[in-house]
């Protein structure tokens, strides 16, 4: 809908009607917090057998008692399982406690304080910069802000990051030490990197020898459909190119079993694994291996993980579909409203030109909370004020139905207000 074609009076009337309709919608009295991509209860129930069977598992593996201290890098079977998931070798894996974000923070902290593989500690340098893909995962950007790492925003394209731009940035500037990547079903765009992008990232020339790709493969098993996206194995490419030290890969079972109570993983070259283990030694005597035994017994192998993820997909898919159907009905062909149609992961990325903040604000008035507009950008600056991250996992279907009704009305109102202000200099919010 091009609201600019209406007169001021027509628009004021239309806005008034929309506001009345909005009040009617609100009578359903639902409130939904979609600020983060939390699994819903039905998904958590999928993994309850793991806890119910906890007493039946064998906690002694090859003479190692998982109930005791030790095994800094994780138990053998858990490292094996993760090596299969990540597509690397068992001795290239550290299996740690519940959160991959914790591991990412720790690894950045180690680099800042101690350097990587003998390089100058990053906090001794005048400047450290990371490339941050936009829209991207807000928590990656928070880590950078926390450590005073300067963020260079680079736009995502349909096949992953803009590689021409990235190659030109890292080739000449040795203060650029890292890039955050969510290579499969990116948060929030849902994009999976093409083979070419993976190859270029692994092989590009970097001015900094201690440049690292923070490969956050959080959604490696999170397909919504049986024919999920396929991501090229960066370990294969980097191994062949002799750049394996460049890859710092992460993942977790937060959205396979239990968020915050699963297993997290770091995978990289053996040299990096040894270097990180050297620092971890001072931090802990070993991870929660009881949880590792439980996960290995429950998850079993890749094909069983696929089966478990199919159950999650059955719960998630209808909510992604409902969003797409309702938005298509309302905004199909509308240049001002665009949204992603991911085949996996946890998010839909919605663009509403120059009125994202207002849409989030209006939705909150009807009890529907989205991540604050701008969160998916470094320093929370979305120049175009257009991006909103939608987390369909959180609401039930009924709540999702309500949330999209609220969102649609909020978008219409925000756009009418915008046109009234821009064209007629009339402040409809006053």
Ligand X SMILES: Cc1ncc(COP(=O)(O)O)c(C=O)c1O
Footprint of ligand X on residues 14-53 (CB under 6 A)?
37
Q: b or e along 99-134 (b: 16 or more beta carbons within 10 Å of the residue's beta carbon)? A: bbbebbbbbbbbbbeebbeebeebeebeebbbbbbb
Please, what is the minimum distance in Å from the beta carbon of residue 296 to ligand X? Answer: 18
Minimum CB distance to ligand X smaller for 189 or for 252: 252
Cis peptide upstream of residue 406 (ω within 30 degrees of 0):
no
- CB atoms closer than 10 angstroms to residue 390: 25
Secondary structure E strands in 255-413:
264-267, 337-339, 348-352, 368-370, 387-390
Q: Which residues, at least 6 apart from 210, have a Cβ–Cβ distance to it below 8 Å?
A: 111, 115, 116, 117, 119, 122, 177
To the nearest whole angstrom, how small is the minimum distance from the Cβ of residue 28 to ligand X?
Answer: 28
Quick one: 292 or 409, whose CB is closer to ligand X?
A: 292
* Nearer residue to ligand X within complex by CB, 132 or 355: 132
99 binds ligand X (CB under 6 A): yes
User: Vertex 202, ends 246 and 149: CA angle to 5°?
Assistant: 50
Q: Which of 83, 259, 267, 428 binds ligand X (CB under 6 A)?
A: 259
Output 97 or 382, the one with its CB closest to ligand X. Answer: 97
Stretch that binds ligand X, among 78-86, 195-203, 240-248, 252-260 (CB under 6 A): 252-260
Q: Is 47 exposed, middle or buried (0-12, 13-18, 19+ CB in 10 A)?
A: buried
- What is the closest distance, in whole angstroms, from the C-beta atom of residue 189 to ligand X in the complex? 11
Task: Quote the least distance from Cβ 105 to ligand X, whole Å.
Answer: 9
Sign of CA dihedral 241, 242, 248, 252: positive
Per residue in 60-87, is it b (16+ CB within 10 Å) or e — as a string? ebeeeebeeeebbbbbbbbbbbbbebbb
Task: Dump the DSSP string for 107-131.
Answer: HHHHHHHH-STTPPPGGGSS--EEE
Looking at beta carbons only, is 228 or 420 nearer to ligand X? 228
- Please identify, using beta-carbon distances, which residue of 216 and 245 lies nearer to ligand X: 216
Q: Is 254 in the site for ligand X (CB under 6 A)?
A: yes
Element (H, E) at 32: strand 32-34
Segment near ligand X (CB under 6 A); pick from 93-101, 286-294, 396-404, 410-418 = 93-101
- Per CB under 6 A, 101 contacts ligand X: yes
Q: Which of residues 278-337 bind ligand X (CB under 6 A)?
A: none
Least distance between ligand X and beta carbon 30 (Å): 23
Site string for ligand X, 367-386 (x = CB under 6 A): --------------------
Closer to ligand X by CB, 218 or 352: give it.
218
Residue numbers 382-421 binding ligand X by CB under 6 A: none
Q: Quote the least distance from Cβ 305 to ligand X, whole Å.
A: 16
Nearer to ligand X, 21 or 153 (CB): 153
Report d(CA 39, CA 43) in Å as an integer. 6
Taking CB under 6 A as the criterion, which residues in 177-236 touch ligand X?
A: 182, 187, 216, 218
The rounded radius of gyration (Å) of the Cα atoms in the chain is 23
| 224 burial level (CB within 10 Å; 0-12, 13-18, 19+) | buried
Tell me the window of 54-62, 72-80, 94-102, 289-297 that interacts with ligand X (CB under 6 A): 94-102
Residue 202 is encoded by which pair of tokens?
Answer: 């692994």
Nearest approach in angstroms of CB 250 to ligand X is 7
Chain residues that interact with ligand X, rule: CB under 6 A? 37, 99-101, 137, 182, 187, 216, 218, 252, 254, 259, 264
């Amino acid at each position: 809908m091009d609201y600019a074609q209406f007169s001021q009076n027509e628009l004021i009337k239309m806005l008034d009607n929309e506001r009345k309709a909005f009040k009617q919608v609100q009578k359903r009295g639902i409130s939904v917090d979609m600020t983060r991509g939390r699994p819903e209860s039905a998904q958590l129930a999928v993994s309850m057998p793991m806890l119910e069977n906890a007493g039946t598992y064998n906690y002694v593996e090859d003479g190692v008692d998982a109930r005791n201290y030790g095994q800094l890098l994780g138990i053998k079977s858990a490292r094996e399982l993760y090596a299969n998931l990540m597509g690397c070798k068992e001795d290239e894996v550290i299996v740690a406690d519940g959160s991959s974000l914790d591991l990412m923070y720790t690894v950045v902290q180690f680099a800042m304080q101690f350097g990587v593989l003998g390089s100058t500690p990053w906090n001794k340098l005048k400047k450290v910069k990371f490339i941050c893909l936009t829209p991207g995962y807000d928590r990656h950007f928070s880590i950078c802000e926390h450590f005073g790492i300067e963020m260079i925003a680079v736009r995502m394209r349909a096949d992953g990051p803009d590689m021409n731009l990235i190659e030109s940035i890292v080739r000449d500037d040795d203060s650029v030490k890292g890039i955050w990547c969510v290579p499969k079903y990116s948060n929030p765009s849902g994009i999976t990197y093409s083979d070419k992008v993976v190859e270029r990232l692994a092989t590009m020339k970097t001015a900094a020898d201690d440049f690292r790709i923070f490969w956050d493969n959080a959604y490696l098993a999170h397909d919504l459909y049986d024919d999920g996206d396929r991501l090229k194995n960066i370990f294969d490419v980097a191994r062949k190119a002799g750049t394996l030290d460049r890859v710092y890969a992460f993942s977790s079972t937060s959205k396979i079993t239990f968020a915050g109570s699963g297993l997290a993983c770091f995978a990289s070259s053996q040299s990096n694994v040894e270097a990180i283990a050297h620092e971890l030694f001072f931090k802990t005597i070993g991870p929660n291996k009881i949880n590792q035994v439980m996960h290995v017994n429950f998850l079993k192998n890749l094909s069983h993980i696929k089966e478990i993820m199919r159950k999650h997909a059955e719960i998630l898919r209808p909510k992604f579909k409902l969003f797409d159907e309702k938005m298509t009905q309302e905004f199909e062909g509308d240049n001002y409203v665009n949204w992603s149609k991911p085949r996996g992961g946890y998010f839909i990325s919605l663009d509403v030109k120059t009125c994202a903040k207002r849409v989030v604000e209006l939705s909150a008035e009807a009890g529907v909370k989205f991540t604050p507009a701008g969160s998916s950008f470094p320093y929370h600056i979305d120049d175009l004020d257009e991006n909103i991250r939608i987390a369909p996992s959180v609401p039930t279907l009924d709540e999702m139905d309500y949330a999209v009704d609220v969102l649609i009305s909020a978008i219409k109102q925000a756009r009418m207000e915008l046109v009234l202000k821009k064209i007629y200099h009339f402040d409809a919010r006053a």
